[in-house]
Amino acid sequence: MTIIITLDVMLAKRKVKSKDLAEFIGITEQNLSLIKTGKIKGVRLTTLDAICRYLQCQPGDILEFNENAP
CATH number of the domain encompassing residue 31: 1.10.260.40
Average pLDDT over residues 11-37: 96
Tell me if 67 is assigned to some domain: no
Q: Rounded mean pLDDT of 27-43?
A: 94
In a domain, 17, yes or no: yes
Answer yes or no: is pLDDT of 1 > 70.
Answer: no
Please report the pLDDT score of residue 16 as a whole number.
97
Write the CA distances from 66 to 3, 6, 9, 29, 53, integer angstroms: 6, 12, 16, 27, 25
> Residue 66 gets which letter from DSSP?
-
For residue 40, pLDDT over 70 is answered with yes
Average pLDDT over residues 28-42: 94
- Its pTM stands at 0.89
Is residue 49 domain-resident? yes
Given pLDDT bands bounded at 50, 70 and 90, which one contains residue 2? confident
Which residue segment(s) compose the domain that 34 sits in? 3-62
